[in-house]
């Protein structure tokens, strides 16, 4: 990318410095960026290795990390070639009001959805869902009023999250972010110890180095890993918040590179050890595998440590996502208001308490919102990570994009649209319904007999038998002459085979 030119015609610095009150440190920025990246997505990484195999998964993680690094460079280069210091402002310069609104809506969908999902996961870990799925607190102390789901989540919101979201500078969260990264490393360490122990005992299978292609559907399923990895590396909503406080954009680029290498190492480590530990039974959310596993008292204790460390990790990710969400909502609603949000007590406190209350009520009242935001969140995250930065570089209003930049930007946008297309078409004619989510769909036919077969995994929103029955009826209502066989049933899902004559 060529350097931006100043108004006098002299060459401006590649990334000019800006003046801030107190500059943030590079280590603090590394922890904040890494924590922004490592959210709930870490639990889906082992499943991508199961689908792709070890080598392709490693290559995909490396490629996505490289493209994310380039996309952040695009954002910072164009930011400091213009006048705006926010993501929405950057898009406004290139695409007008529609561009800024698109970013703000994408951040609202992604971050608010994640905040609600985090509270749901924390509630599941601490208090569970009903008598069939007890949380850690109920397993340890029995069922009491103080460890019921609404009370447990309220306690976490008031005494853990509220003090953290009241900070007005991202730099102030560096210590909690460092603890969050440490907990992710602890999670990797526990998985590695359990996997190596199982390997020594001969209780593991050899991981597939390349994908196993059985049919056309299996080949198409390989592309489902792309949006998972893209979403797992999305942190672009916090680039400006962290970068502006550093003062030197070059320092921000350096911090981003370190954080991406760290996160890629954590992702691949948890992927390989998780896949080695659970093999082909690895779930889309590996936390479910730990929740279902049993054995010695040591294994049970390790399972509880894994679940609790993950829950605490999400508690510490929460304020970072809340920070950029609050800023974007303020910019969307009060774009003409002065001073900035951090300097206006009334706007800051009203938005802070309103967002906490909204996330809490949503997590308690409508936990099935997980499935709505899982689709919407992946769509908006892909836009934030690749489509918007790539479009900015292609638009090139400052004339600073080189031919190489535009080629990479085109690859970003193309990859993003392909991943979104995959999300929308992968399920074929079998659709998700109100009560469950369809995964691992396989289709086969028997030539000459007219018989067809679907084999799928159903992820249940609710665990009651009535809901499970409705799930089967809604999925099968257009199929005639079928018989369905429950192959395997667990607390959270079922593998079902459906045969019928065309």
Segment-wise mean pLDDT, segments of 10 residues, the chain, 502 residues:
41 44 83 89 82 87 93 92 88 93 92 88 81 75 84 94 93 93 91 86 76 57 73 90 85 94 94 84 71 66 85 93 93 78 84 95 72 60 91 92 92 82 46 45 44 50 42 42 42 46 38
Angle at which helices 87-127 and 297-333 cross, to 10°: 150
* Sign of the Cα pseudo-torsion (114, 165, 348, 95, in order): negative
Residue 280 vs residues 18, 48, 223, 455: alpha-carbon distances, Å: 51, 11, 18, 15
Contacts of 130 (CB under 8 A, 6+ apart): 463
Please compute, for residue 50, the number of CA atoms within 13 A of its CA located in the half-sphere on the CB side: 22
Q: Give the integer Cα–Cα distance in Å for 130 and 124.
A: 10
Q: What pLDDT does residue 482 have? A: 42
For strands 482-489 and 451-460, give the pairing: unpaired
Q: Give the integer Cα–Cα distance in Å for 204 and 198.
A: 6
Query: Radius of gyration (Cα) for the chain, nearest Å?
Result: 24
Predicted structure pTM score: 0.77
Residue (of 401, 484, 483, 467) closest to 3 by Cα position: 401
Q: DSSP alpha helices (H): ranges in 80-141?
A: 87-127, 136-141
Residue (of 49, 31, 41) closest to 279 by Cα position: 49
Judge whether 374 and 231 are in contact, CB under 8 Å: no
* CATH entry 3.40.120.10 includes domain 26-425: no
DSSP E strand stretches across 373-492: 436-446, 451-460, 482-489
Q: What pLDDT does residue 130 have? A: 59
* Sign of the Cα pseudo-torsion (34, 113, 228, 435, in order): positive
The rounded Cα 140 to chain-centroid distance in angstroms is 30
Contacts of 445 (CB under 8 A, 6+ apart): 451, 452, 453
Contacts of 439 (CB under 8 A, 6+ apart): 284, 456, 457, 458, 459, 493
The first and second tokens of residue 498, run together, are: 């459906």
Tokens 């951040």 — which residue?
107
Q: What pLDDT does residue 305 have? A: 86
* Sign of the Cα pseudo-torsion (176, 178, 182, 188, in order): positive
Q: If you ran DSSP here, which 8-state letter would residue 159 be given?
A: I
Q: Give the integer Cα–Cα distance in Å for 162 and 392.
A: 36
- Torsion over CA of 34, 85, 392 and 323, rounded to 10 degrees? 40
Q: What is the separation, in whole angstroms, between the first and last Cα of the chain? A: 58
- Torsion over CA of 310, 315, 321 and 327, rounded to 10 degrees? 180
Q: What pLDDT does residue 341 have? A: 78
Counting other chains too, the contacts that 358-365 makes at CB distance below 8 Å and 24 or more residues apart are 358/112, 359/112, 359/115, 359/116, 359/119, 359/157, 360/119, 360/153, 360/154, 360/157, 362/116, 362/119, 363/116, 363/119, 363/120, 363/123, 363/153, 364/123, 364/149, 364/150, 364/153
Residue (of 165, 160, 216, 136) closest to 441 by Cα position: 216
Q: Is 440 helix (H, G, I), strand (E, B) or coil?
A: strand
């Amino acid at each position: 990318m060529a350097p931006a030119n100043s108004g006098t015609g002299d060459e401006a610095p590649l990334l000019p410095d800006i003046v801030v009150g107190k500059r943030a440190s590079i280590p603090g920025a590394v922890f904040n960026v890494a924590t922004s990246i490592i959210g709930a997505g870490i639990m889906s990484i082992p499943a991508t290795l199961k689908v792709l195999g070890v080598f392709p998964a490693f290559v995909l993680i490396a490629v996505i990390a490289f493209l994310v690094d380039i996309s952040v460079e695009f954002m910072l280069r164009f930011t400091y070639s213009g006048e705006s210091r926010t993501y929405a402002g950057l898009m406004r310069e290139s695409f007008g009001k529609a561009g800024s609104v698109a970013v703000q809506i994408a951040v609202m969908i992604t971050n608010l959805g994640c905040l609600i999902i985090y509270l749901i996961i924390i509630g599941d870990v601490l208090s569970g869902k009903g008598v069939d799925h007890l949380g850690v607190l109920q397993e340890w102390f029995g069922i009491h009023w103080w460890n019921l789901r609404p009370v447990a989540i309220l306690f976490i919101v008031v005494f853990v999250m509220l003090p953290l979201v009241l900070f007005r500078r991202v730099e102030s969260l560096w210590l909690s972010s460092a603890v969050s990264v440490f907990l992710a490393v602890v999670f990797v360490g526990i998985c590695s110890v359990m996997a190596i122990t199982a390997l020594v005992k001969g209780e593991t299978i050899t991981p597939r180095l390349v994908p196993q292609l059985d049919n056309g559907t299996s080949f198409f399923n390989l592309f489902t890993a792309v949006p998972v990895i893209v979403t797992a590396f999305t942190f672009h909503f916090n680039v400006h918040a962290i970068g502006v406080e550093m003062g030197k954009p070059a320092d921000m680029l350096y911090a981003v590179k370190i954080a991406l290498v760290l996160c890629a190492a954590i992702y691949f480590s948890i992927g390989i050890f998780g896949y080695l530990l659970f093999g082909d039974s690895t779930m889309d959310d590996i936390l479910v595998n730990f929740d279902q596993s049993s054995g010695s008292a040591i294994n049970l204790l390790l399972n509880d440590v894994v679940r609790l460390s993950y829950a605490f990790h999400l508690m510490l990710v929460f304020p970072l996502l809340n920070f950029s969400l609050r800023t974007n909502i303020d910019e969307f609603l009060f774009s003409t208001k002065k001073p900035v949000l951090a300097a206006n007590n009334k706007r800051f406190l009203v938005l802070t308490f309103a967002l906490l209350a909204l996330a809490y009520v949503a997590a308690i009242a409508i936990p099935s919102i997980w499935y709505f935001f899982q689709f919407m969140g992946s769509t908006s995250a892909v836009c934030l990570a690749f489509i918007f930065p790539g479009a900015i570089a292609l638009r090139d209003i400052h004339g600073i994009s080189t031919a190489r930049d535009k080629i990479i930007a085109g690859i970003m946008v193309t990859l993003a649209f392909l991943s979104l297309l995959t999300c929308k078409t992968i399920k074929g004619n079998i659709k998700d319904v109100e009560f469950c989510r369809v995964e691992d769909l396989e289709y086969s036919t028997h030539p000459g007999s007219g018989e067809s077969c679907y084999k799928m995994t159903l992820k249940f929103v609710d665990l009651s038998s009535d809901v499970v029955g409705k799930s089967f009826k809604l999925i099968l209502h257009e199929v005639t002459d079928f018989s369905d066989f429950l192959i395997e049933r667990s607390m959270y899902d079922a593998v079902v085979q459906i045969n019928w004559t065309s």
